[in-house]
Amino acid sequence: MASEGLEIQKANLEDRIDRLGSWMIRFTWPVAVGLLMEFYAIFNFPGTLRWNALIDRIGLLLVTAGVAGELAIEHKTHRAERKLRGINIEIEREMDITLTAADERIEQLRKENNETALVLKDRSLGNMLEFQQAMWAFRGTEYVLETGVDRESLSFKIRLNAALLGSEWKTHGHVLRRLNLGEGVWILTVGTKSDTRLSEAGEALADWLNNHNVVTLTNVTERDGLSPGTVLIQIGTRPETFERFEEFRAARDKEKRERSGDRA
């Protein structure tokens, strides 16, 4: 929006141009009357024969005064219009700046809304058939699910468990509910002190989930009662903010780079 000062200057100049237009009309009248008087004098009517020369001079003076007034008014009008054009250009420039800032703000709000929607929406496995086909390569993998007690975690657990069973993974015992699993999903490979290898099935599952905006990290753990190689899936809550969401993603990228370096 244009500044108040420019708007006031614009309004004043527009008023000035209107007033000058009124003066232009006033100066047109002497020109018109003077021309009529000159034409009258040309005909040399007998009744005013002695006055025709004077009438002609008066008409000429009126025309001259009127034209001079019109020129002066035209000059002032031109100057006012030139100033008005400059102010309009400045107003347009300010409006462009304002609109650019508004567009940037709208884009920022759209980005923030997208980020908020990403954090708040329920976690999903994506296309269920494609998920089962991808996990089918690791059929026979034993897994255990641990989940938090919030609604969204329980709902995601039900969908994940059904999909893994459909891929012929083998559930190991009952699903456990725990009060404090923190944020995100952890896929832990049960190992031993001498065997700290990550499960390929667990890594594939973590990659799939991360590719579908389910922040997931992997690690190795020891757990009594579970055989080495078992995949322990802990489903915590969704990250509370987009910043936490990005932190999980960055941590996943870092751990993948480190493991790629170890293999190299």
158 C-beta neighbours (distance < 10 Å), count = 13
User: Which of 76, 91, 120 is at the close of a domain?
Assistant: 120
Residues 49 and 104 in one domain: yes
Q: Give the pLDDT score at 83.
A: 86
Our measurement of the distance from residue 72's CA atom to the centroid of its chain's CA atoms, rounded to an integer in Å, reads 53
User: Which of 120, 152, 167 is at the close of a domain?
Assistant: 120
Burial 13-26 (b: 16+ CB within 10 A, else e): beebeeebeeebee
Residues 56 and 145 in one domain: no
Determine contact, residues 185/147, Cβ cutoff 8 Å: no
Residues 95 and 137 in one domain: no
Burial 123-149 (b: 16+ CB within 10 A, else e): bebeeeeebbebbeebeebbbbbbbbe
The yes-or-no verdict on residue 135 having pLDDT over 90 is: yes
Residues 94 and 14 in one domain: yes
Q: Give the pLDDT score at 165.
A: 92
Q: Which carries the bigger pLDDT value, residue 114 or residue 88? A: 88
β-strand pairing of 185-190 with 216-221: parallel
Our measurement of the distance from residue 114's CA atom to the centroid of its chain's CA atoms, rounded to an integer in Å, reads 10
Q: Give the pLDDT score at 176.
A: 60
DSSP 217-251: EEEEE--TTS-TTPEEEEE-BPPSSHHHHHHHHHH
Domain that holds residue 149: 128-263
Give the model's confidence band at 177: pLDDT under 50 very low, under 70 low, under 90 confident, else very high: low
Q: What is the mean pLDDT of residues 236-259?
A: 78
Q: ∠ CA(209), CA(210), CA(214), 5° rounding?
A: 65
Q: What is the number of structural domains in the chain?
A: 2
Tell me the per-residue pLDDT of 55-105, one tens digit each, with 9 for 90 and over: 778 878 888 888 888 888 888 888 888 888 888 888 888 887 877 787 777
3-state per-residue secondary structure call for 146-189? EECCCHHHHHHHHHHHHHHHHCCCEECCCCEECCCCCECEEEEE
